[in-house]
Structure 1
């Protein structure tokens, strides 16, 4: 599947390899489908070929139109591509797939870590089934029944919105940049980012470890912890805990389904509803006694460290794969005599 039409010419020809679909699906009118008819073709090999910088440049140059660039069937049909022997296609696809398999495994590990953290937050801070909860009495509070010794506060008591606006002309072009498109859906793992050179609008500066929250509807579920220092879109809120001990509670709170629902319901504006931090700071939060807070903090900090470690492993794997790709495709690296298991690469 290729991006057929987009206002950003650089996105034209961006592709996705589809495999093992077990049900009927449809695709957007802004995409175009390519299906091979030759039995001398390994589709996954060409999926990698179409990712190469040379092919991406070709697609960008071929896109026609004025305000909207387009890729059509005529351009795809007339596209000249190499046709290596099947064994070579198999081997190249197998080499590059090995990197993708490692990336996929690391991504699954990130998902498991995040799910564990969400489950513990929900058990401890929503259902109040924390360690030794049977021995703690429930008492009345302004938030209803909460465990004795827990303190009800507002989000604004433990977190703040940091607005460090910076002139784009003063930013190093290679500074990491996070737009809303880089924030993943329902995940705190910010594994993709661009550079400041890609966007000329006003940006917000953030430090490593601060929380980025998409404030434009429908992006309220886009929340992540910055693995690096950089700049982000002004359509994001940069959230910082007022004290280090509060950081895990703040992170768990603003990434919870309940908070996302609250941000959606209280958003302001008609054409482009936005979350209002002055409203969000009133969101209720409960703080447990210090021993339990420290126990939760240790778990979250260790989990976050593992997630960030996996993020950088995946980035290194992608960079290595992308460096290998053009050299394998061009034949600069000869794979003909390499003993490679290609059983997992379907014809």
Structure 2
């Protein structure tokens, strides 16, 4: 492929705008404030994003209003991540971010995002950032950063289209995971909080120790249906590639655990768990980190490993411990001030209604199937990301020639 002479980021961008160097006041609803945790590899991560008011949005976009096709670059933690702003999304910049507005007459914006995520530029970013006390990129270094020679626009479009197709598939699978999780949450509430289970019309409510419950249901404690597993293991006593889940790998308000590390990267005593166990982050339980293990592995000792005592208890236990009410209870009963920790001994006494076997098995079957589907999707996404990340450096470097491809736009 014929390539242009070297250009800097300033040469290919209409604007490069730094963020406000202060924390934006947040609220429950409003415009997304994009901080470094919200900047993925090519796409924005909006789960748990901070929100700001109209007035804050205007104040934080006075230098430039981010728009579709702009890129957001993380200056710190993690240095160098880049995401493109999609159509229909209005955002403002959080701290430690920079807005890049590519000139579409010079470069395909998506191609620029993938170029910046390639091995060559990422290595340069890390080298520049490593020279600081706290690793970060200066805006001047970003503006003057020299890009590898650019291919013709047709090749840029082809590379962007190929890699975007992978990201579109990943995004679609993530959307399906969120839908499945929401269905499971709603079904749990319908059956076990509002008692609108199949056939509820023919069952009267009767008084119990915790209020009115359907006739024929029992009131149990969590400890009657599940146990804490404390199987302590040293990381050097297992194969080095054994999956390791730290609290940083547990997403908020999602039972699907799609990211993990390796045992070779950690030290000190950890807890072993089995596929299908429930991992509950006990430090600052209000972070709502509860998920189902997709593999056998190790986890932080700051995790409660929960295992249902019987297979048909799994759905009810999972629905309970991942519910807002249970997380609120774990928070209220946690111990410690600076680093409050949930206490399993207290949590075992949490009451929950146990239905007759037919209803219990029906719900557990649904929950088990939903978890299996979300885990199937998460493994698909891991494979898609791995393939995309293998292709990315080969495509942006020109090692894989795409000049002969015809891309429909």
What TM-score, normalized by structure 2, do the two folds share? Answer: 0.78
User: In structure 2, what is the equivalent of residue 76 of structure 1?
Assistant: 142
Q: Cα gap change, 1:197/1:21 in structure 2, threshold over 3 Å: closer, same or farther?
A: farther
User: In structure 2, what is the equivalent of residue 224 of structure 1?
Assistant: 291
- Taking the aligned partners of 1:15 and 1:163, their CA distance within structure 2 comes to 40
Alignment counterpart, residue 276 of structure 1, candidates 334, 339, 343? 343
User: In structure 1, what is the equivalent of residue 73 of structure 2?
Assistant: 2
Post-superposition offset of 1:307: 1.1
Post-superposition offset of 1:172: 2.3
Paired residues of 2:285 and 2:330 also in contact (CA < 8 A): no
| Greater than 6 Å deviation, 4+ residue runs | none
Summarize the alignment of residues 99-248 of structure 1 with structure 2, pairs less than 5 Å apart. 99-217=166-284, 220-248=287-315
CA RMSD of aligned residues (A): 1.8
Summarize the alignment of residues 278-317 of structure 1 with structure 2, pairs less than 5 Å apart. 278-317=345-384
Post-superposition offset of 1:122: 0.6
What SS does the corresponding residue of 1:116 show, helix, strand or coil?
Answer: helix
Q: Cα gap change, 1:21/1:69 in structure 2, threshold over 3 Å: closer, same or farther?
A: farther
Q: Check if 1:252 corresponds to 2:319.
A: yes
Paired residues of 1:158 and 1:250 also in contact (CA < 8 A): yes
Aligned length: 337
Higher alpha-carbon deviation: 243-252 or 75-84 = 75-84
What SS does the corresponding residue of 1:117 show, helix, strand or coil?
Answer: helix
In structure 1, list runs of 5 or more residues that go unmatched.
Answer: none
Paired residues of 1:180 and 1:219 also in contact (CA < 8 A): no
Q: Check if 1:337 corresponds to 2:409.
A: no
User: In structure 2, what is the equivalent of residue 54 of structure 1?
Assistant: 120
Q: Cα gap change, 1:57/1:198 in structure 2, threshold over 3 Å: closer, same or farther?
A: farther
What SS does the corresponding residue of 1:35 show, helix, strand or coil?
Answer: strand
User: In structure 1, what is the equivalent of residue 32 of structure 2?
Assistant: none
Alignment counterpart, residue 63 of structure 1, candidates 129, 135, 139? 129
In structure 2, list runs of 5 or more residues that go unmatched.
Answer: 1-71
- Taking the aligned partners of 2:250 and 2:118, their CA distance within structure 1 comes to 24
What SS does the corresponding residue of 1:69 show, helix, strand or coil?
Answer: coil
Post-superposition offset of 1:259: 0.7
Q: Report Cα offsets for 1:139-178 as digits up to 9, x if no partner.
A: 1111111001111011111111112221122232211111
Post-superposition offset of 1:220: 4.1
Paired residues of 1:191 and 1:315 also in contact (CA < 8 A): yes
- Taking the aligned partners of 1:35 and 1:180, their CA distance within structure 2 comes to 35
Q: Cα gap change, 1:24/1:245 in structure 2, threshold over 3 Å: closer, same or farther?
A: closer
Q: Check if 1:45 corresponds to 2:45.
A: no
Q: Report Cα offsets for 1:209-236 as digits up to 9, x if no partner.
A: 1111111115541111111111112222
- Taking the aligned partners of 1:177 and 1:61, their CA distance within structure 2 comes to 28
Paired residues of 1:64 and 1:71 also in contact (CA < 8 A): no
- Taking the aligned partners of 1:17 and 1:198, their CA distance within structure 2 comes to 31
Post-superposition offset of 1:189: 0.9
Higher relative contact order (CA 8 A, sep 6+): 1
- Taking the aligned partners of 2:275 and 2:91, their CA distance within structure 1 comes to 43
Higher alpha-carbon deviation: 50-59 or 283-292 = 50-59
Q: Report Cα offsets for 1:27-56 as digits up to 9, x if no partner.
A: 12x333333357301121121122223332
